[in-house]
Structure 1
Amino acid sequence: MPSAPVVPRPAATVLLVRDHPRPRRGRSPLQVFLQRRVAGMPFAGGMTVFPGGGVDASDRPDPDRWAGPEPRWWAERFGVDTDLAGALVHAAVRETFEECGVLLAGPGTPAGLQRYRAEVVARRRTFAEVLAATGLVLRADLLHPWARWITPRDSPRRYDTAFFVALVPDGQEADAHTTEAVEALWWHPDEALERWEEDEMQLMAPTARTLQEIAGLGGSAAVLAAAAERTIRPITPTVRREGSRLVAVLPDETEVPAAGFRGRPA
């Protein structure tokens, strides 16, 4: 008798986007921040992903430290309950701060930002405590909903992940100062897809599909405009073998390589 599927853990991931001021000929200005995860990690080891991670117990937003659309609005967009929606937004902002140093909060940028970041990463202080200590509010208005992906049912480790889009705030820079990644760079979406097609980059199905969706949009303003028009429904791929290939099949029958499989189906 087959075992019951693992219950997916809530998670959040953020497509950080920007426009390169001097894109190379043939490239649109749009860039997205991608991290190559440490190979030995239990989930998505060696994969190139957007910043993000699981919701944790500290992701309980304070209404007094919140600016922008309220959790109820996010709940309607992602199809989840209000408490979870607030936690997803909080996790998205926290993980973005932890993993690449971009703070989606305001007003302004406090002194000693890296010290606060180190304390949050080390769990010496919660992100909510940092907001309170610095007088900042979480800027939910800087996030835009994009998609919701659920790991296939037969996976031993599963996540129900809300995908957000955010423009890097003026004056801030994303970095690679995280122990979870061996590399973190800005990529033109079509360039990352080319590397994937050439087997020089490993992408999970949600990452590959998302890059395909934004590759033709040209600039960050177009991505944010597209986010406002999207209808978000949970996407749970099924994984099947086609000859020697493992492919993730999406609800619209699109096929992309399953996580851990290098190369695209012909």
Structure 2
Amino acid sequence: MSSATAIELNSNGTSAASPKSSASLLVINTRNEVLMVLRNQTSWSGSFVFPGGNYDETQDTSFKATAVRETFEETGILLASESQRENSETKSAVIQEKISNLRRVIHMQQSALKYLLDHYGLYINEDRIYPFTEWVSPRELRRRWHTRFFVTFIDKDTTKITGARIPTSTESNREIAEVRFIHISEAIKSFNRKELSILTPQLYLLRTLSGIIGDSVISTNEEREKIRELALGDFGRMTLNPITIYPRPNVTKERTYLYEGDEARGGPKGCLHRNVNTFDQDGLLVEDKLYRTFDVFSSIDPRWLSKPARL
């Protein structure tokens, strides 16, 4: 994209920052817990988000690869499979050693993940990573992202380390303060109790998943198939470009985000697709109300879908 086409204008005539391409991954385990990280010393410091980061054309062959690489760098969990099967008795120890070596080299910035995967006989199985909406940051923000969200499941065919951990001080600049798996419904409840700060896109997706799994603590085949159906349908390809409304003049801690299809954005009368949010004095989200009156499985307007990715 050239600089001439990347420039947008805000309503006051000032230029809006061009969104950076990024990817983020929802990793769901067998207990319907999702992997989340607590950001430290970043734009979202103090908030829990799904692991992810910027697309790197020198390392990543796709946005799915970005999501896997960033998840590995931030949590130590590698969503990769073996190219060849090894003896089952030695397999676990061998894989553990491979992944430990991989992460140490990655954080020392000595090589790119795609080359190390080849070296250790591992590969990213992109067929098991599913699109789960795209989000473009509001135009008024100084730093903006076009984030591709993906969802995947940890099962017996997935290679991962035993237990997530944050990088040591010699491995990274400690952008991550905490790593945890948390039940999807419990994450929402913890946010409502003001125990966790979670960003709006993450809450939107958590609430969507909660509508499928509820409080179930065992990830069933039926639930996973329902999530896959949602991801591979129109919902997974939906792109949200929120427009920010400040309900009361000069009260910036209250904001409404209008999404595609909302009646206030030209959608059908009575169709609501919006968040009404409240932020604290430090800018952390403390109250989030999602209004979505359409069925995510059957009532997505084709105009909300993303254009085909170049990668």
Q: Same fold (TM over 0.5)?
A: yes
Residue 236 of structure 1 corresponds to which residue in structure 2?
241
Distance 1:110 1:8, change over 3 A: same
Residue 227 of structure 1 corresponds to which residue in structure 2?
231
Note the C-alpha offset of 1:19: 2.3
Residue 57 of structure 1 corresponds to which residue in structure 2?
57
- Matched positions, count: 230
Provide Cα deviations, 1:10-42, integer angstroms capped at 9, x if missing partner. 10100000122xxxxxxxxx211111111x31x
Aligned residues of 1:151 and 1:159 also touching (Cα < 8 A): yes
Aligned residues of 1:247 and 1:265 also touching (Cα < 8 A): no
In structure 2, give the amino acid aligned to 1:250: Y
Q: What is the distance in 1 between the residues matched to 2:106 and 2:154?
A: 20
Aligned residues of 1:149 and 1:160 also touching (Cα < 8 A): yes
Which secondary structure state, in structure 2, belongs to the residue aligned with residue 264 of structure 1? Answer: strand
Q: What is the distance in 2 between the residues matched to 1:143 and 1:248?
A: 28
Distance 1:194 1:127, change over 3 A: same
Note the C-alpha offset of 1:142: 2.1
List alignment gaps of at least 5 residues for structure 1.
21-29, 62-85
**Residue of 274, 278, 282 corresponding to 1:254:** 274
Worse-matched range after superposition: 142-151 or 242-251: 242-251
Worse-matched range after superposition: 204-213 or 94-103: 94-103
In structure 1, give the amino acid aligned to 2:208: E
Residue 305 of structure 2 corresponds to which residue in structure 1?
none
Larger radius of gyration: 2
Aligned residues of 1:53 and 1:91 also touching (Cα < 8 A): yes
Provide Cα deviations, 1:142-189, integer angstroms capped at 9, x if missing partner. 211111011111111111011001112436345132322222211112
Aligned residues of 2:256 and 2:274 also touching (Cα < 8 A): no
Residue 307 of structure 2 corresponds to which residue in structure 1?
none
List alignment gaps of at least 5 residues for structure 2.
1-11, 86-94, 168-173, 214-218, 263-272, 291-311
**Percent sequence identity over matched residues?**
23
Note the C-alpha offset of 1:103: 1.6
Note the C-alpha offset of 1:124: 1.1
- Within a 5 Å distance, the mapping from 1:91-170 to structure 2 comes to 91-107=66-82, 109=95, 111-170=97-156
Q: What is the distance in 1 between the residues matched to 2:276 and 2:184?
A: 16
In the superposition, the TM-score normalised over structure 1's length comes to 0.78
Greater RCO (Cα-Cα under 8 Å, separation 6 or more):
1
Note the C-alpha offset of 1:210: 0.3
In the superposition, the TM-score normalised over structure 2's length comes to 0.68
CA RMSD in angstroms comes to 2.2
Aligned residues of 1:37 and 1:47 also touching (Cα < 8 A): yes
Residue 79 of structure 1 corresponds to which residue in structure 2?
none
Q: What is the distance in 1 between the residues matched to 2:113 and 2:18?
A: 26
Q: What is the distance in 1 between the residues matched to 2:257 and 2:58?
A: 33
In structure 1, give the amino acid aligned to 2:232: A
In structure 1, give the amino acid aligned to 2:275: E
- Within a 5 Å distance, the mapping from 1:1-20 to structure 2 comes to 2-20=13-31
Aligned residues of 1:106 and 1:136 also touching (Cα < 8 A): yes
